Amino acid sequence: MERGILIGIAGGSGSGKTMVSRRIIDDLGSDKVVIIQQDSYYKDLSHLPLTERAKRNFDHPESVDWELLIRQIDELLHGCSIEQPIYDFAVHAHEPKKRFIGPHLIIVLEGILILYDPRLRERMAIKVYVDTDSDVRLLRRLRRDVHERARSVESVLQQYEGSVRPMHLQFVEPTKRYADIIIPEGGHNLVAIDLLKTKIRALLNERV
């Protein structure tokens, strides 16, 4: 199989990265595009007591297993299948089962820190940063963590104030300078997404 095309979509927590990724799939089809989320590659903390796991800073680059992420991205880019870890956010550990992912022509890698590591950046054909106001991002994160990850409102707000916001300012927002395309307001910015799709189609046409 031909070498795949890697597209990186970064941005703060709740910025709308996943919606942008979904719009790409809607346009090009799930047979060509697969989404790989950075969240699946948080380090397994099952060796720690549960109370200690929750204290870890999940918005710091050290929380991510970069070696595994890069190895599996390389395998997908070269037409191989992977067994991706499934991260359980309720207990901050990997589930026993894994997600089987077959080769796809386009790999969309999305996450808050995916433009942080230069090894990943050099593999990307297109680097995208989704830029959304902090108040909108906080509201989206609050809804997600309460409804999807069984978190309390108080714990989400404490985490946002203690680590999410400062880590965003220190590690996430500075990666905007590496982006080829900046999309304000995420998946609702249809003009910017259409420009991104046009560039992706141009890359695909080069393969013909």
First-to-last CA distance in the chain? 13
b/e per residue 1-32 (b: at least 16 CB within 10 A): eeebbbbbbbbbbbbbbbebbebbbeebeeeb
- The pLDDT of residue 9 is 97
pLDDT in tens, 87-115: 987 788 899 999 999 999 999 999 999 99
- The pLDDT of residue 208 is 59
- The pLDDT of residue 119 is 97
List, for the chain, all residue ranges whose pLDDT scores fall below the cut of 50.
Answer: 1
Q: How far is Cα 194 from Cα 109, in angstroms, rounded to an integer?
A: 18
Closest CA to 116 of 73, 176, 56: 176
CA dist list (Å): 208 to 70, 120, 143, 204? 27, 26, 43, 7
- The pLDDT of residue 83 is 97
Contact 121, 178 (CB under 8 A): yes
Tokens for 71, please give them.
């190895």
- Which domains does the chain carry? 5-205 (3.40.50.300)
Closest CA to 36 of 12, 9, 11: 9
Residue 126's SS3 state is strand
Contact 6, 110 (CB under 8 A): no
- The torsion of the CA quartet 26, 27, 30, 32, rounded to 10 degrees, works out to -160
- The pLDDT of residue 179 is 97
